[in-house]
Amino acid sequence: MDQSRAKDTFAPASQNGEKEEMENPRTAEDLEQQLVNALAERDRATEEQKKVCEERDRALEAQKKALQERDCALAEQKKALQERDLIREEYHNAMSSRAAYESIVGALSEDYFNLYYVDLETDDFIEYGSRTDSGHRAGQTRGTDFFAECRQNALRYLYQEDQQKFIAALGKEALTAQIRKHGMMTLQYRLLMNGEPAYVNLKAVYGSEDDRHVIIGVHNIDAQIKDREAALRAREDRKAYLRFSALNNNLIALYLVELGTEHFSEFVSSGSYEDLGIEKEGDCFFRRTYENSLRTVHKEDLELFHSQVTRDNILRTIDQDGVFMLDYRLLIGAAPFYVRMKASRFVEDGKEMLILGLLDEDAQIRHQKKIVDDLSFARKMATIDAMTGVKNKYAYNEAQERMDRRIAEGSVSGFSVAVFDLNNLKVINDTRGHDAGDEYIKEACRMICTTFKHSPVYRIGGDEFTAILENADYINQEALLERFEKQVLGNLDRGKAVVSFGCARFNPQQDKNFRMVFERADAMMYTEKLLLKSLGAAVTEEQPEKVPQVLDASDISAITVRRHVLIADDIESNREILGDLLKDDYDILYAADGVETMEMLRLHKDEIAILLLDLYMPNMTGRDVMTAMQVDEELMFIPVIFISVDPHA
| Lowest mean per-residue pLDDT among 182-191, 389-398, 550-559, 610-619 | 550-559
Categorize the per-residue pLDDT at 137 as very low, low, confident or very high, splitting at 50, 70 and 90.
Answer: very low
Other beta carbons less than 10 A from residue 376's beta carbon: 10
CATH homologous superfamily, domain 564-642: Response regulator (3.40.50.2300)
Instruction: Provide the pLDDT for residue 245.
Output: 54
Instruction: Provide the pLDDT for residue 557.
Output: 31
Three-class secondary structure of residue 635 per DSSP: coil
Residue-wise pLDDT for 472-511, tens only, equals 999 999 999 999 999 998 888 787 889 999 999 999 998 9
Instruction: Provide the pLDDT for residue 99.
Output: 47
How far is 92 from 125, CA to CA, in rounded Å?
A: 10
Sign of CA dihedral 463, 468, 472, 473: positive
Direct distance between the N- and C-terminal alpha carbons of the chain, in angstroms, rounded to an integer: 187
Fold topology of 233-360: Beta-Lactamase (3.30.450)
The hierarchical CATH code for the domain 98-220 is: 3.30.450
* Assigned CATH class of 391-555: alpha beta
Nearest CA among 417, 279, 370 for reference residue 646? 370
Most confidently predicted of 117-126, 240-249, 264-273 = 117-126
- Is the pLDDT at 152 greater than 60? The verdict is yes
Three-class secondary structure of residue 505 per DSSP: strand
| Lowest mean per-residue pLDDT among 127-141, 400-414, 513-527 | 127-141
Most confidently predicted of 259-263, 528-532, 578-582, 631-635 = 259-263
Q: What share of the chain in percent tops pLDDT 90?
A: 35
How far is 430 from 442, CA to CA, in rounded Å?
A: 17
Instruction: Provide the pLDDT for residue 87.
Output: 54
Torsion of CA 598, 601, 603, 609, to 10 degrees: 170
Three-class secondary structure of residue 388 per DSSP: coil
How far is 81 from 643, CA to CA, in rounded Å?
A: 104
Categorize the per-residue pLDDT at 5 as very low, low, confident or very high, splitting at 50, 70 and 90.
Answer: very low
Instruction: Provide the pLDDT for residue 307.
Output: 94
Instruction: Provide the pLDDT for residue 84.
Output: 64
Instruction: Provide the pLDDT for residue 469.
Output: 95
Give me the sheet containing 185-193, strands edge to edge.
Answer: 140-143, 125-128, 112-119, 213-220, 196-206, 185-193
| Lowest mean per-residue pLDDT among 104-108, 183-187, 639-643 | 104-108
- Is the pLDDT at 518 greater than 90? The verdict is yes
- Is the pLDDT at 589 greater than 90? The verdict is yes
Categorize the per-residue pLDDT at 285 as very low, low, confident or very high, splitting at 50, 70 and 90.
Answer: very high
pTM (predicted TM-score): 0.36
Q: What share of the chain in percent tops pLDDT 70?
A: 78
How far is 424 from 83, CA to CA, in rounded Å?
A: 140
Instruction: Provide the pLDDT for residue 493.
Output: 78
Categorize the per-residue pLDDT at 599 as very low, low, confident or very high, splitting at 50, 70 and 90.
Answer: very high
If you average pLDDT over every residue of the chain, what do you get?
A: 80
Instruction: Provide the pLDDT for residue 546.
Output: 34
- Is the pLDDT at 393 greater than 70? The verdict is yes
Give the pairing type, strands 464-469 and 416-422: antiparallel
Instruction: Provide the pLDDT for residue 352.
Output: 92
Instruction: Provide the pLDDT for residue 643.
Output: 78
Instruction: Provide the pLDDT for residue 10.
Output: 41
Residue-wise pLDDT for 82-101, tens only, equals 766 665 565 555 444 444 45
Nearest CA among 160, 346, 364, 400 for reference residue 248? 364
Report the pLDDT averaged over residues 205-222: 83
Report the pLDDT averaged over residues 585-603: 90
Sequential DSSP letters for 559-609 = PP---EEEEE-S-HHHHHHHHHHHTTTSEEEEESSHHHHHHHHHHSTTTEE
Q: How many residues does the chain have?
A: 649
Report the pLDDT averaged over residues 322-329: 92
Report the pLDDT averaged over residues 68-94: 71
- Is the pLDDT at 105 greater than 90? The verdict is no
Residue-wise pLDDT for 193-205, tens only, equals 888 899 999 999 9
The answer to whether the CB of 326 falls within 8 A of the CB of 341 is yes
Instruction: Provide the pLDDT for residue 483.
Output: 93
